Amino acid sequence: MAHNLDESLSLLARTPAALDALLRDQPEIWTLRNEGPNTWNAAEIVGHLISGERTDWVPRARMIMQFGESKTFEPFDMKGHVREVEGKSINQLLDEFAQLRTNNLVELRAWKLQPADLERRGVHPSLGTVTMSQLLATWPAHDMTHLHQLSRVLAHQYREAVGSWSEYMGVLQCSGHSSE
Amino acid sequence: MAHNLDESLSLLARTPAALDALLRDQPEIWTLRNEGPNTWNAAEIVGHLISGERTDWVPRARMIMQFGESKTFEPFDMKGHVREVEGKSINQLLDEFAQLRTNNLVELRAWKLQPADLERRGVHPSLGTVTMSQLLATWPAHDMTHLHQLSRVLAHQYREAVGSWSEYMGVLQCSGHSSE
């Protein structure tokens, strides 16, 4: 199913500012605390998004344009955020994500993709054949998956503090979902 | 359990800008589409947050300061957003939410609450006795519940467009939770 690329770009352009609004200059409770063992804090979520800008979305779109189905995408490194966050403050991570996102959107817009380009196919290492349209729709949906995760990580810090209100807070009932 | 009020205020101050970044001037797909019958779109979520600024958080905190446990909070109107959104654009709603939130934080800071004030008690119409600390921790947790909901509403618009990637998008596995 095709989608409207302008609408995707319009959401993709906003994610860095939304994360910036929530996280810049915040105390550690909102940037460095996670949901427990093997979960990510806000800085690691931004690190993962940085990793996606470097190796996932536009690089895969470029592969579709250049190689179509003749070459399989590189598997995405779900540990890629580890080296991205190393030694960086949350503000540095936010700046880096914003810059990479801007560059990627500039590049993508310059391609002036046509409807036929959105039908082009590539090969995902696990999912098999996918289209350019699906790849470019997944990019903002992936942003939303991590905004969803971030809101849950932040709310989690107040799980006890809210007392009996916890039953009314939907986000506190969310146990997370695959691949977040 | 008490919490650090400065940390709450620090997150509460950011929510309007985060929503603004995501939603201002966006096409209808990101502002007026919902998840199906009896669900909210982004404008209605902002309308609900406006409704909370007017009648929930600071008004209830004021009641705790003035009446303690001698007077029960007014029940919150979960349909209050209906009249808030009527005839207003998303930009107007974002402006209104930001202004109300700013005013409420200015008022709350002016009270210069002390640790003993955070222990003060009030009566919630369904939950019974609650503390000022719990009320003021629930306020940002409630913001996060609706940011969690918003990310899900936005991602939902691409449920089909992402194709087989949907299994990897955690937010698309979220069926929502009570009271969102």
Note whether A11 and A4 are within 8 A (CB): no
Residue A27's closest CA among B14, B163, B127? B14
Structure tokens at A70: 């003749």
CB neighbour list of residue A146: distance below 8 Å, 6 or more residues apart: A45, A48, A49, A180
Residue B180 has pLDDT above 60, yes or no: no
How large is the average pLDDT for residues A134-157? Answer: 97
Find chain A residues with C-beta within 8 A of B31's C-beta: none
* Contact state of A170 with B140 under an 8 Å Cβ cutoff: no
Across the interface, whether the CB atoms of A147 and B145 are under 8 A apart is answered: no
Question: What's the pLDDT tens digit per position in A91-139?
Answer: 999 999 999 999 999 999 999 999 999 999 999 999 999 999 999 999 9
- Burial of A70 from C-beta contacts in 10 A (0-12 / 13-18 / 19+): exposed
Q: Is A37 left (phi over 0), alpha (psi -120 to 50) or beta?
A: beta
At residue A107, the pLDDT reads: 97
Give B180's contacts in chain A (Cβ within 8 Å).
170-171
Cβ neighbours for A83, distance < 8 A, ≥ 6 positions apart: none
- Based on the number of CB atoms within 10 Å of its own CB, is B119 exposed (0-12), middle (13-18) or buried (19 or more)? exposed
Return the H-helix or E-strand segment holding A129: strand A128-131
> Could you tell me which chain B residue has the CA closest to the CA of A168?
B179
Q: pLDDT at residue A154 above 50?
A: yes
Question: pTM here?
Answer: 0.96
Distance from CA of A162 to the nearest CA of B (A): 4
H helices present in chain B, as ranges:
5-12, 15-23, 28-31, 42-55, 57-67, 80-85, 90-110, 115-118, 132-156, 170-173
**Backbone torsions φ then ψ of B51, nearest 5 degrees:** -60, -40
Sign of CA dihedral B41, A131, A67, A113: negative
CA-angle at B84, arms to B81 and B90, nearest 5° = 100
State how far the Cα of B165 lies from the Cα of A86, in Å rounded to an integer.
29
- CA nearest A72: which of A2, A127, A138? A127
**A53 pLDDT above the threshold of 70:** yes
Contact (Cβ atoms closer than 8 angstroms) between residue B42 and residue B23: yes
Query: In chain B, what residues touch A14 (CB-CB under 8 Å)?
Result: 21-22, 26
C-beta neighbour count of B74 within 10 angstroms: 12
- pLDDT, position B175: 80
Residue B118: φ, ψ to 5°: -65, -20
B8 token code pair: 């709450």
Mean pLDDT throughout B95-121? 97
Q: Please tell me which residue of chain A has the smallest CA distance to B159.
A: A141
B55-81 per-position pLDDT tens digit: 999 999 999 999 999 999 999 998 999
pLDDT in tens, A28-37: 999 999 999 9
Chain B, residues 28-67, CB within 8 A of chain A, namely 29-30
Of A15, A26, A171, the CB nearest to B144: A171
Determine contact, residues B119/B132, Cβ cutoff 8 Å.
yes
Q: Does the distance separating the beta carbons of A177 and B174 come in below 8 Å?
A: yes
Residues of B in contact with A149 (CB under 8 A): 170-171
Q: Work out the pLDDT band at B129, boundaries 50, 70, 90.
A: very high
Residue B141 pLDDT grade (very low, low, confident, very high; cuts 50, 70, 90):
very high
Q: How much is the pLDDT for A179?
A: 46
Closest-CA residue in chain A for B7?
A27
The size of chain A, in residues, is 180
What pLDDT sits at residue A178? 47
| Cross-strand bridge partners of residue A124 | A128
Chain A (128-147) residues lying within 8 Å, Cβ to Cβ, of chain B: 128, 130-131, 133-135, 137-138, 140-142, 144-145, 147
Closest partner residue to B170 among A20, A149, A151, by Cβ? A149
d(CA B163, CA B55): 42
In terms of CA atoms, which chain A residue is nearest residue B175?
A: A174
Which residues of chain B make contact with A20, given a CB cutoff of 8 A? Answer: 21
- CA–CA distance, B96 with B105 (Å, rounded to integer): 14
Indicate yes or no: CB of B7 within 8 angstroms of CB of A1: no
